[in-house]
Amino acid sequence: MKRRIIKTGLLIFLAAAMMAQDDVKVNALSLNWGMGNIKRQDFTITPFTHSDWSPLNVQLVYERSKKLEQQASLKFGQYSPRIGEEYTYYSFYNGEEIAEPHYFTMIDINYALGLSVVEKGKWKFVVGGKSKNQFYSSTYNFGPSGPSPLYIAFGLDLWLNMKFELSEKHHFKSNVSLPLFAYIYRDPYLAQDDEFFQNLISHKPLKELAERIKDGELESWGSSQSFDFDLSYAYVINEKWNMGCTYRLSMDFNQTPTNFSQVENVIYISGTFKF
């Protein structure tokens, strides 16, 4: 009889705990906007180092914290670097024109999943994996035209997440990811060869993209290295809203078919809705 009472009490307690856990807000949606700086050198196109500042940096982040920690993000950035001063050139069709800057458009789609390994007081430390997917489209304008290389990468990273509550109103969070391996496509030297033109022959953008991705290679630390880090501060306004800022550092280095290096720094202001 006592055992039945104890079992019944435990079941009621567990049910209440589960209901209470469901009442806790474990979902968060953040919209970040910021100013970024990029430095890139791609020997496939040119030995020059391109650098630019841009306010066109937006990031959408969804987080879910329960038995497992989940984080999904969509990041967009666009830069317009130029080497030297503006100059004019003569176009056969339009006469005298001013050279346009280069354009770097970068889209990152990431999903991370991890398990909390340390929860002590105000600290929480999570270890897991991250699916890192990059789509970088560039246009180098040398006079009337120029190459438009692609950098496409589908990778798996080691993901480390840390959370710290300084007080009830002030929270800090940090993410670090290190690559395990990635499937990467880069254009050939000068972005044009026989295979490149064969990929273009269909004149169908999706088919062309699929053919380019098929030409990619599986790479690891021997030919591809990267590092992502961010540090966020959040001020808790109320039960549903946070506001804050985030610093993000992203580095990518690749050696196939030529050396590619890119370092990006972005400072975001952010708003977070918890539900």
Check which CATH number belongs to the domain holding 165 and give it.
2.40.128.90
Which tokens hold the place of 232? 């966020």
Question: Which one has a higher pLDDT value, 190 or 12?
Answer: 190
Residue 142's pLDDT band (cuts 50, 70, 90): confident
Mean pLDDT calculated for residue range 25-52: 94
Strands (E), 43-169: 49-65, 69-79, 88-91, 95-98, 103-120, 123-139, 150-165
The pTM score is 0.84
Query: Is residue 118 situated within a structural domain?
Result: yes
Asked which of 54-68, 83-97, 151-165, 245-259 is least confident by mean pLDDT, the reply is: 83-97
Query: Is residue 2 situated within a structural domain?
Result: no
Query: Is residue 3 situated within a structural domain?
Result: no
| Cα-based distances in Å from 99 to 88, 91, 133, 147 | 6, 10, 32, 14
| Cα distance between residue 54 and residue 194, in whole Å | 35
Question: Which one has a higher pLDDT value, 268 or 84?
Answer: 268
Query: Is residue 150 situated within a structural domain?
Result: yes
Comparing CA positions, the residue from 49, 40, 41, 42 lying closest to residue 189 is 42
| Cα distance between residue 155 and residue 214, in whole Å | 15
Query: Is residue 71 situated within a structural domain?
Result: yes
Query: Is residue 11 situated within a structural domain?
Result: no
| Cα distance between residue 109 and residue 134, in whole Å | 7
Query: Percentage of the chain with pLDDT > 70?
Result: 85
Query: Is residue 205 situated within a structural domain?
Result: yes
Question: Where in the sequence is the domain holding 156, given as residue range(s)?
Answer: 26-274
Which amino acid is residue 65, in one-letter code? S
Query: Is residue 137 situated within a structural domain?
Result: yes
Which residue's structure tokens are 């430390």?
125
For the chain, how many structural domains are there in total? 1
